[in-house]
């Protein structure tokens, strides 16, 4: 495995269509870029999405943590560095660092994934599949010193009573769907930001977020979002079909 690179670097050009107020990159676009870098890195170690689809397997992200010192600006070319860093049963860790155009560290992220059957989404154990190469750890370093944590995700009736309306409702319309015909998980971050913005929060001050993904959202489905504020952290919870948990996000605002 000596020919496996310790890291994978990817340069990204920040486009106007991916920027919002203040000409700063949307956080949801940044998460999409992180996952693009993850795909390129996975491909370099034999686990790219094209090959996996041919053998009926896909990657599914379960959790991500992101710390933002500074979001890239319009016209800026920034760099994402990523590496596979742990395997625990059927969980795969992958972390990231984000560098500005002048090579300053402006963010970092951690994530946890599983390999899953394309149709059933049941976990796949790599070493039990002869059509998969040996799983690779590029570097054991953890960007935050620990894997991404699991969030408390309450039942809907513990967040809002039956009469309380959601802060915002989102639908899985055409432009929300990805190549697998369900809402791409990066859109959940965009939805969470929309919910906070609608509630009057200054989303430009968000410096940390942790997001857990629980359920897919397929074409035509709707998701109701609720916001919780405990004074030190904000939470956004998304539910479909009344009480099916879709995603939970915990966010911290810069003082």
Summarize pLDDT for 170-193 with one digit per residue, the tens. 999 999 999 888 999 999 999 999
Q: What is the mean pLDDT of the chain?
A: 95
Mean pLDDT is highest, among 125-139, 149-163, 182-196, for 182-196
Tell me if domain 8-128 and domain 156-253 are identical in fold. Answer: yes
Q: How far, CA to CA in Å, does 194 sit from each of 17, 130, 170?
A: 17, 45, 10
What confidence category does residue 1 fall into, taking pLDDT thresholds of 50, 70 and 90?
very low
Distance CA 157, CA 161 (A): 5
CATH number of 8-128: 3.10.129.10
Place of tokens 């890239």: 72
Residues of the chain with pLDDT > 90, as a percent, come to: 89
Helix axes 185-198, 27-44, angle to 10 degrees: 170
- Kindly tell me if the per-residue pLDDT of 253 is higher than 90: yes
The stretch 80-94 carries a mean pLDDT of 95
Sorted by where each begins, the domain ranges of the chain are: 8-128, 156-253
The stretch 133-146 carries a mean pLDDT of 95
**Fold of the domain spanning 156-253:** Thiol Ester Dehydrase; Chain A (3.10.129)
């Amino acid at each position: 495995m000596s020919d496996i690179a310790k890291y994978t670097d990817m340069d990204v050009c920040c486009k106007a269509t991916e920027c919002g107020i203040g000409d700063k990159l949307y956080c949801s676009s940044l998460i999409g870029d992180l996952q693009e870098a993850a795909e390129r890195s996975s491909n370099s170690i034999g686990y790219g999405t094209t090959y996996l689809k041919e053998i009926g397997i896909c990657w599914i992200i379960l959790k991500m943590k992101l710390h933002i010192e500074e979001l890239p600006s319009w016209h800026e070319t920034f760099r994402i560095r990523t590496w596979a860093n742990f395997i625990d049963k059927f969980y795969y860790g992958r972390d990231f660092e984000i560098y500005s155009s002048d090579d300053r560290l402006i963010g970092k992220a951690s994530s946890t994934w599983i390999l899953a059957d394309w149709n059933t989404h049941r976990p796949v154990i790599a070493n039990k599949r002869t059509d998969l190469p040996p799983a690779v750890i590029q570097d054991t370093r953890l960007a935050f010193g620990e894997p991404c944590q699991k969030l408390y995700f309450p039942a809907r009736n513990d967040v809002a009573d039956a009469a309380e309306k959601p802060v915002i409702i989102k639908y899985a319309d055409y432009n929300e769907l990805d190549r697998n015909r369900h809402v791409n998980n990066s859109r959940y971050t965009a939805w969470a930001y929309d919910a906070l913005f609608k509630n009057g929060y200054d989303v430009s001050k968000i410096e940390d977020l942790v997001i857990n993904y629980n359920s897919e959202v397929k074409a035509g489905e709707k998701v109701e979002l609720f916001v919780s504020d405990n004074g030190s952290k904000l939470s956004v919870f998304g539910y479909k079909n009344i009480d099916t948990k879709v995603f939970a996000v915990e966010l911290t605002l810069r003082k």
